[in-house]
Amino acid sequence: MPVETDILPPRYRSPRRIATGGMGDIYRATDVALGRAVAVKVLSERYAHNEGIRSRFTREALAAARLSGEPYVVTVFDVGEHAERPFIVMEYLGGGSLEERLREGGQDVGQALEWLEQAATALDAAHRHGVVHRDVKPGNLLLDRDANVHVADFGIASAAGMDALTLTGTVLGTAGYLAPEQAQGDHATPASDRYALAVVAYELLSGRRPFESDSITAEAVAHVHEAVPPISAARPGLPEELDAVFRRALAKDPSQRYETGAELVAALRAAFANAAGATRTFAASAPVRAQPARRVRTPVGHWTLVGALLALAAIGGAIAAILLTGSGSGHKKAQRPPAQTVTTVVTQKGRATTVTTPAGTGSSGPGSSFGSLSGSQLNDSGYAKMSAGDYTGALPLLRQSVVKLSGVGYPTEAYANYNLGYTLLQLGRCDEAIPYLEQAKRLEPQRHEPKDALQRARHCKPG
């Protein structure tokens, strides 16, 4: 129901209460001046005459405003007072929060890592600005309509250069995500935020917090005194390689934790990759998608530096080998021509292996040694031929790679589709290239290379 009281300035019409926080209420309203939906946080009336709390509320606005424009941070549009109550106007995202997603049950591992990477990007930026969030939790990780995470609610944040309102001995934050130093009343630091992010990561991957308890006090005490429970035992199918990551991420001593949020997420990705390299399988209850090693692409005409590609092969190839459940992209396999070529490629463990490749442009037949290679290994072998200018030789490898990687998702499937599309483009088979480049663009909309190649394909003249 619309709020009938004059709670907001006239510019913000039709307010509806959508949430209640510790310091105030949040309303969805329409900014009639700019014609857009906004979220407006208003200090609770019971605190309106408390100067200390008003100062803290204002500090929240200043801290959040300092971060506006940083990726994956909720943007602040306006700060002011109305009817003697401070308010903050922020972007309205409309996708709910990670807290709501967690209520739905276990999360896809690939999606969870993507959310964690986005949250880490925002927190690392905040720390560079001297801002410590202090209350990182799923309820403060909001989703936009494209399911991207934005960090919100710096309500108990501290910002360098601002007067501290929190004394040592005062515990701020949410018990389930409190770093040990916070639980003991010490000052929070960037390492405290990263600890809380690690708790969120543990929860997204396993479905529960590491020290989850019915008692808030018991949970806070456990953060201080108890050893980190292995996440591999918290949910069937999670690899033991994750345990060491969380032991460091949730270390009692802040100096022993990861130095940035990005480093934490990279360690999680590497743990899954190492587990996949050990030919581990994961239970259906903890689905795993191919995870991105950072891709290095030069402008269209080249793909990547060879060294970077081999590093990618170690991760992407290993994960893809675990994820594959069979072919079935709709591409038909042609009979293998009798002529063959031999290529040496590097496998995910750095070992050389000989690949028998059918000549011509058809896919391998059932008897080909392709069957023993993962989709990523085929893609890497195809890339090696692309690098040497042998697009005709690359074509059958890349076709089979796309078949094997169909449905694996971002980023490995995107790599294979781009390579195949680009190879077809180089061979003058523009119309054939388009669907593969479109798939690469769909999987990686943030990259310009698939878009550039797709534009070329749509305007090129067959050679």
Q: Is residue 1 part of a domain?
A: no
Q: Are residues 86 and 122 in the same domain?
A: no
Q: Is residue 292 part of a domain?
A: no
Q: What's the CATH number where 83 sits?
A: 3.30.200.20
Share of the chain above pLDDT 90, in %: 35
d(CA 301, CA 352): 27
More confident residue, 405 or 360: 405
Q: Is residue 301 part of a domain?
A: no
Active site annotation includes 25:
no
Q: Is residue 445 part of a domain?
A: yes
| Residues of the domain holding 24 | 12-91
At residue 385, the pLDDT reads 86
Q: Are residues 103 and 228 in the same domain?
A: yes
Among the options 25, 135, 153, 193, which is catalytic? Answer: 135
Q: Are residues 310 and 421 in the same domain?
A: yes
**Residue 457 corresponds to which amino acid?**
A
DSSP state, 260?
A: S
Q: Are residues 271 and 179 in the same domain?
A: yes
| DSSP of 415-463 | HHHHHHHHHHHHTT-HHHHHHHHHHHHHH-TT-HHHHHHHHHHHH----
Assess whether pLDDT exceeds 50 at residue 461.
yes
Assess whether pLDDT exceeds 60 at residue 354.
no
Q: Which of 166-180, 258-272, 449-463 holds the top average pLDDT? A: 258-272
**What's the total number of domains in the chain?**
3
At residue 462, the pLDDT reads 54
At residue 24, the pLDDT reads 79
Residue pair 64/74 in contact by the 8 Å Cβ criterion:
yes
Q: Which of 8-17, 77-86, 190-199 holds the top average pLDDT? A: 190-199
Long-range contacts of 431-439 (CB under 8 A, 24+ apart): 431/457, 431/462, 433/457, 434/458, 436/402, 439/413, 439/414
d(CA 120, CA 222): 24
Q: Are residues 313 and 416 in the same domain?
A: yes
Q: Return the H-helix or E-strand segment holding 13.
A: strand 12-20
d(CA 435, CA 19): 44
Q: Which of 240-244, 278-282, 414-418 holds the top average pLDDT? A: 240-244
Q: Are residues 217 and 76 in the same domain?
A: no
Q: Are residues 325 and 419 in the same domain?
A: yes
User: How does strand 24-31 pair with strand 12-20?
Assistant: antiparallel
Q: Are residues 271 and 123 in the same domain?
A: yes
Q: What's the CATH number where 159 sits?
A: 1.10.510.10
